């Protein structure tokens, strides 16, 4: 099974650039063309939040139009740059197959890997949030399948990743989430976005990973003293490959013109 994860699309209205500089619609289109020619083809694409930049319906509808160019099914969860109601209105079809008490939580079944999408947002809040209702919902979902390999996907990483966007923005309820996660040894990954950098961290018996963005890469500052900045880069995305050996292997793909290939011989 091949699961593609794209994150932090930050789509704005047609004809505009995000924050005046980042051509995010163009980047997303290039990434989609790249994904559409992958062999084998992905079973599905997960978009892990920050679909829009300014939470508007026009932006979400623009994102729908772009994402509909994917050849395979895709699924969406919100980030802190999204409005749940707006996403629900724009993505009225199978991209959001379920909701729980107004939050965009759902489980994708009938694949070799079970995929549980959790809404980690709280309106008007930058950081992550897990309320008791969401935690109870997640634990109930996990209890339904104790053996099947499972991925949890959500926007905010619940780890302290050593960069401002994770550590300063924070994640209310992270320790409560961790206490649930460590009960289930079948959780292969918790895959997230938000920090616009690819990272991997061991956490409560599983691995939390974050995806690169669609071309607004966080300026890496491990001193956590500089103001948040981003660089215009080629778009990147994750390919989570559940192999015939039953291992989940994660690759990071970058969409750009590279010189090569050259032979190793």
Contact footprint for Fe ion (CB under 5 A): 8, 50, 79-80, 194
Least Å distance, CB 170 to Fe ion, is 12
Least Å distance, CB 196 to Fe ion, is 6
CA atoms within a 13 Å half-sphere pointing along the CA-CB vector of 203: 24
Q: Report helix angle 57-67 to 24-36, nearest 10.
A: 30
Q: How far apart are CA 187 and CA 142, in angstroms?
A: 9
Looking at beta carbons only, is 62 or 114 nearer to Fe ion? 62
Least Å distance, CB 244 to Fe ion, is 34
Q: How far apart are CA 3 and CA 87, in angstroms?
A: 22
Cβ-contact 9, 47 below 8 angstroms: yes
Contacts of 38 (CB under 8 A, 6+ apart): 2, 4, 239
Looking at beta carbons only, is 129 or 194 nearer to Fe ion? 194
Cβ-contact 232, 220 below 8 angstroms: no
Least Å distance, CB 233 to Fe ion, is 14
H/E segment holding residue 171? strand 171-172
Least Å distance, CB 164 to Fe ion, is 12
Looking at beta carbons only, is 142 or 255 nearer to Fe ion? 255
Looking at beta carbons only, is 24 or 108 nearer to Fe ion? 24
Residue written as token pair 């997230």 = 192
Looking at beta carbons only, is 45 or 77 nearer to Fe ion? 77
């Amino acid at each position: 099974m091949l699961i593609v994860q794209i994150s932090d699309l930050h789509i704005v209205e047609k004809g505009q650039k995000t924050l005046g500089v980042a051509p995010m619609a163009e980047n997303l289109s290039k990434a989609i063309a790249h994904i559409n020619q992958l062999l084998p083809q992905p079973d599905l694409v997960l978009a892990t939040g920050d679909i829009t930049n300014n939470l508007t319906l026009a932006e979400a509808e623009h994102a729908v139009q772009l994402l509909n160019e994917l050849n395979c099914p895709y699924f969406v969860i919100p980030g802190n740059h999204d409005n749940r109601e707006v996403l629900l209105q724009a993505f009225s079809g199978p991209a959001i197959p379920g909701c729980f008490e107004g939050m965009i939580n759902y489980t994708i079944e009938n694949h070799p890997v079970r995929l549980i999408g959790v809404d980690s947002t709280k309106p008007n809040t930058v950081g992550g949030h897990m309320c008791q209702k969401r935690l109870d919902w997640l634990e109930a979902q996990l209890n339904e399948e104790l053996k099947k390999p499972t991925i949890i996907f959500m926007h905010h990483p619940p780890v302290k990743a050593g960069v401002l966007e994770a550590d300063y923005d924070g994640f209310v309820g992270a320790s409560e989430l961790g206490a649930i996660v460590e009960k289930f040894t079948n959780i292969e990954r918790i895959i997230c976005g938000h920090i616009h950098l690819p990272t991997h961290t061991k956490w409560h018996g599983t691995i939390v990973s974050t995806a690169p963005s669609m071309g607004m890469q966080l300026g890496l500052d491990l001193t956590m003293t500089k103001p948040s900045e981003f660089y215009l880069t080629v778009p990147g995305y994750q390919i989570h490959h559940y192999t015939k050996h039953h291992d989940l292997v994660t690759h990071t793909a970058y969409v750009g013109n590279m010189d090569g290939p050259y032979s190793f011989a």
